[in-house]
Chains A and B, each alone.
Chain A
Amino acid sequence: MKKILMLAVATAIGLAIAASAKAEMKRVAIKPPNGHALSEIISGYEYRSKETKVLQDDDIQNPGFIWVEQGEELWSQTDGSAGKSCASCHDDATESMATVGTVYPKWDDKVGKPVSLEQRINTCRKDNMGAKPWKWESGPLLSMTTYVRHQSRGKPVNVSAEGPAASWAERGKKLYYQRVGQLDMACSSCHEDNYGNRIRADMLSQGQSNGFPTYRFKWQKIGSIHRRFKGCMKNIRATPYKVGSDEFVALELYLATRGVGLPVETPAVRN
């Protein structure tokens, strides 16, 4: 009941936003380190309407909290052959997960790759709980990812592309600047060259990842960063990579390095 009400409110506000005037405010920006691709680092939050910001900032109204709450419940639920829950190993998430959401994707020596938070959660399920991995974009995986990253809300993104992760960030960078699809655009065409400009009804942001998983009015639910990548690629008439693919993890890693210092906003609210 609560959920339906929240969704209805979210939809109504979403529509109101579309009609609202452009009223521009000063945008909070971070000064990037030398050699950074951007001259200023700005969260997608700054490009949204006042109404959307208000919704994100209010924990009672923010529809993304449905997933935070579901994640919190799952945290202490036992699952799998080892008879364990996340809490069995990690205890109180508010302490053990306090900065985890700032450092993913993170290098994993065991698999010899950087892994996204979603993949790390599934590794724990498989290796430590004897439980089946959750499907990408499934309710439980979205909920747990949201819950874990939410613990880092307000803390600065601190992803590292040093050491063995460097070549993966490089790979992500290539994907970021690669023109794809029939519209022949790269991520940079919109999010580096045109942020702050309107593309039809949408105000382009820098396409930062600090808010993910993010609640979108368009989706009527929370979604992963890989789902967002897929959407942007489809819009330019390209064949997207698969969610959870090496390509998307590399892109996610590189993108995170472009937003180092931005506060984690999970669950962010966007249109």
Chain B
Amino acid sequence: MKLNATRLVTALAVAVGFALPVCAAPVAFEVIDKTIPKSLTMEAGDPGRGKKALLNRKQGNCLACHSSSALKDQPFHGEVGPSLDGVSGRWKEAELRMILVDSKVVFEDTIMPSFYIADGYTRIAKKFMGKTILTAQQVEDILAYLNQLK
């Protein structure tokens, strides 16, 4: 009985938590056939900001695994994933958005993190609980930047 009461309180706390506007719960998005056609935000992606978020080691940190000729001035490109050169020619924007939001939908068992998924993790550090790696706007900004990497 006591256990049930505790569970109920926890459930309520979680429910209230999600209802609070300060919570970093991701915005809803629609997946159609392994793509996300619609932008996650109202604001158009900004490639300048996108480049910063892509490089930032606490945000995209994409060069940890990928390389890019356009970013030659940056030290230490990764060798874990394919080069980002010409990605926007290989993938449509709706596909790239899907890859960024949840890479595992497109690449089964990939090492690439899911940048806009907040839950379903095991032993996630407290500090990151319920949060996404990138914000919705950062995903759109990075997409805008990838569009320039012809």
A residues whose Cβ falls under 8 Å from a Cβ of B: 178-185, 189-190, 193-194, 197-201, 204, 233-234, 237-239
Contact = CB atoms under 8 A, between A and B. Distances in A.
Q: Which of A181, A201, A237 has the most CB of B within 10 A?
A: A237
A194 B79 CA distance: 9
Contacts of B107: none
Contacts of B126: 239
B76 A198 contact: yes
A31 B38 CA distance: 51
Contacts of A185: 111, 113
Nearest to A19: B75
A200 B111 contact: no
Contacts, number: 67
Interface string B13-40: 0000000000000000000000000000
Given A200-B63, A237-B124, A238-B124, A182 B113 contact: yes
B42 interface: no
Contacts of B113: 182-185
A164 to B, nearest CB: 27
14 contacts: A178-B122, A180-B122, A181-B128, A182-B121, A182-B131, A182-B133, A184-B121, A198-B79, A198-B80, A199-B65, A200-B63, A200-B77, A237-B125, A239-B124
The range of chain B's interface size is 20 to 34
A243 to B, nearest CB: 16
A238 B123 CA distance: 5
Interface of B: 61, 63-65, 75-80, 111, 113-114, 121-128, 131, 133
A182 B133 CA distance: 8
A199 B125 contact: no
Contact of B80 (A178, A194, A233, A234): A194
Nearest to A204: B80
B111 to A, nearest CB: 4
Contacts of B111: 185, 189-190, 193-194
Chain A binding site: helix, strand, loop or mixed by DSSP? loop
Contacts of A181: 121-125, 128
Contact of A199 (B80, B123, B124, B131): B80
B71 to A, nearest CB: 13
A185 B113 CA distance: 8
Contacts of B122: 178-181, 238
Contacts of A201: 75-76
In the A-B complex, the 5 residue pairs with the smallest Cβ-Cβ separation, listed nearest first, are A197-B79, A201-B76, A182-B128, A189-B111, A198-B79
A234 B125 contact: yes
Nearest to B118: A182
Contacts of A190: 111
A239 B64 contact: no
Nearest to A189: B111
Given A181-B124, A182-B131, A185-B113, 6 more contacts: A181-B122, A182-B133, A194-B80, A197-B80, A198-B77, A239-B126
